[in-house]
């Protein structure tokens, strides 16, 4: 479920392992779905011998900055993660190979060795992730087509209002999931934000009054900041959140406050919400 906080954690892992180091060895999977728009050989050549000088992220995309172009960029899709040999840390991938701590992990798509012996692997079991090469990731598609990144550049209230003015007919859930509006929000963040803001996911943007609009913006920031601060470790998320109680679509599921959780399909996605708290 990599949404913005999980991807930001991936960036942090990559930053710690790679920045300031030279790529000593590269292995790339023979996978022409995940390796997208270039060949495995081109990806290897771009990386081999390069110095990693930084990392970047926008929404759910992240990339390594090298001392030469092009740069590799990564999207985890529904199941990807960055792994290191020692990380019992965050398990974005699930399954027996992860539990067993096998190294290199199953579903490895790219494996980097650095000059100090550190390693970094991107896994992607369901192959909806992508690895691309870009001359300037932040200024080219797909990143250039995305909206604001709520962690780095959440618009001021006035600008936020302007962005919403053009989307009056959109449902709130659909708006939040639209990557050209807010990059990095996925299904659980959208539901969490709407729960905390007390808004029905089926409401339209145009129906919001000023107070509701302020709550939406403020909870968007709050949920993402908290999840990022906790390194996307879900077991550490506040128990007051909808998050901990929504999984499994359990009949009779309730929040920590005892409110009934119900499920809908909105904007094509399973939506958990709390009728007693959202209107």
Residues annotated as part of the active site? 2-3, 60
Give the bridge partners for 265, in sequence order: 270
DSSP-derived secondary structure for 204-257: BGGG--HHHHHHHHHHHHHHHHHHHHTTT-GGGS-TTSSGGG-GGG-TT-B-TT
Asked if 120 and 112 count as a contact pair (C-beta separation under 8 A), the reply is yes
Q: To the nearest whole angstrom, how small is the minimum distance from the Cβ of residue 31 to DNA?
A: 8
Shorter beta-carbon distance to DNA: residue 25 or 225: 225
Specify the residue, 17 or 176, whose C-beta has the smaller distance to DNA. Answer: 176
Residue 84: Cβ-neighbour burial (10 angstroms; 0-12, 13-18, 19+): middle
Nearest approach, Cβ of 171 to DNA (angstroms)? 4
Least distance in angstroms from the C-beta of 11 to DNA? 15
* Nearest to DNA of 48, 141 (CB atom): 141
Radius of gyration (C-alpha) of the chain in whole angstroms: 20
The residue among 114 and 201 lying less far from DNA, judged by its C-beta, is 201
166 vs 254 by CB, closer to DNA? 166
CB 7 within 8 A of CB 57: yes
Q: Where do contacts with DNA occur on this chain (CB under 7 A)?
A: 1-3, 33, 59-60, 75, 77-79, 94-96, 107, 125-128, 142, 166-171, 174, 179, 186-188, 247, 249, 266-270
Contacting residues for 39 by C-beta, under 8 A, at least 6 apart: none
Least separation, in Å, of the C-beta of 118 and DNA? 27
Q: How far is the CB of 4 from DNA (least distance, A)?
A: 9
- Compute CA distances 145 → 97, 100, 137, 189, whole Å: 36, 39, 11, 21
> What values do phi and psi take at 11, rounded to 5?
-65, -40
């Amino acid at each position: 479920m990599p949404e913005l906080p999980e991807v930001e954690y991936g960036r942090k892992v990559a930053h710690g392992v790679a920045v300031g180091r030279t790529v000593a060895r590269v292995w790339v999977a023979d996978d022409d779905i995940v390796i997208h728009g270039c060949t495995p050989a081109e990806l290897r050549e771009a990386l081999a011998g390069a110095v990693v000088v930084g990392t970047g992220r926008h929404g759910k995309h992240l990339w390594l900055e090298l001392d030469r172009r092009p740069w590799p960029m990564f999207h985890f899709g529904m199941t990807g993660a960055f792994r290191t040999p020692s990380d019992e840390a965050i398990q974005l991938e699930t399954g027996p190979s992860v539990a067993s701590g096998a190294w290199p992990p199953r579903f490895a798509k790219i494996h980097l060795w650095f000059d100090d012996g550190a390693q970094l692997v991107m896994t992607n079991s369901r192959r909806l992730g992508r690895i691309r090469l870009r001359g300037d990731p932040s200024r080219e598609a797909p990143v250039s087509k995305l909206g604001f990144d709520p962690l780095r550049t959440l618009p001021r209230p006035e600008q936020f209002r302007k962005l919403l003015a053009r989307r009056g007919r959109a449902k709130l859930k659909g708006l939040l999931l639209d990557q050209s509006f807010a990059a990095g929000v996925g299904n659980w963040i959208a539901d969490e934000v709407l729960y905390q803001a007390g808004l029905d996911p089926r409401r339209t943007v145009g129906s919001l009054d000023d107070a509701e609009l302020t709550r939406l913006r403020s909870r968007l920031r709050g949920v993402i900041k908290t999840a990022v601060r906790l390194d996307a470790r879900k077991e550490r998320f506040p128990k007051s959140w909808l998050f901990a109680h929504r999984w499994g679509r359990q009949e009779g599921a309730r929040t920590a406050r005892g409110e009934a959780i119900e499920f809908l399909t909105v904007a094509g996605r399973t939506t958990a919400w709390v009728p007693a708290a959202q209107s």
